Amino acid sequence: MKTPTFPYCIPHRRELSLREREMLAFLLSENAPQRLDELEHLTVVARCGCGRCPGVLFGKDASDEPVTQGARLIADMMTTPADKGFIGVMLWATDARITELELCSFGDFDITELLSISELKPFVATQGNAQ
């Protein structure tokens, strides 16, 4: 069976939602506080190519094109691991701008909306099954 493919992103230009703004402020304050001032100048220019998840790509204004290569991870958080796995939240940026908010399932979760920031904790690699 062939795995379905979809584009990296779908054009979708709009202002940030309140929940997106809160999520970005939280991620930045916890992981990259020196970039918090960039939040005031972000707008959504595209959404994830899957068309289902809340992942979005940013520009400094609505005329910017999405950055799809060359960004680096500046913030990452996760939900508490459970039997079904966990959800990771990642914020990507270049030196010039914050580029993307990505959410991904590490397990059996269908991510259809942004998580509450109260569900997030630092992304920490676990070693073995220490109890």
Instruction: List, for residues 26-81, the tens digit of each pLDDT value.
Output: 999 999 999 999 999 999 999 999 989 999 999 999 899 999 999 999 999 999 88
AA identity, residue 116: S
User: For the chain, which residues make up each domain, given as ranges?
Assistant: 9-122
Tell me: the pLDDT tens digits for 78-131? 998 888 889 999 999 999 999 999 999 998 888 999 999 999 999 875 444 443
Predicted pLDDT at 1: 62
Residue 8, pLDDT > 50, answer yes
Predicted pLDDT at 49: 93
Q: Where are the beta strands (DSSP E) in the chain?
A: 9-14, 43-48, 56-59, 72-78, 85-93, 98-107, 121-122
Give pTM, 2 decimals: 0.88
The dihedral sign for the CA sequence 1, 103, 106, 87: negative
For Cα atoms 45, 47, 53, give the angle at the middle one, nearest 5 degrees.
155
Q: Is 39 exposed, middle or buried (0-12, 13-18, 19+ CB in 10 A)?
A: middle
3-class state of residue 6 by DSSP: coil
Q: Is 118 exposed, middle or buried (0-12, 13-18, 19+ CB in 10 A)?
A: exposed
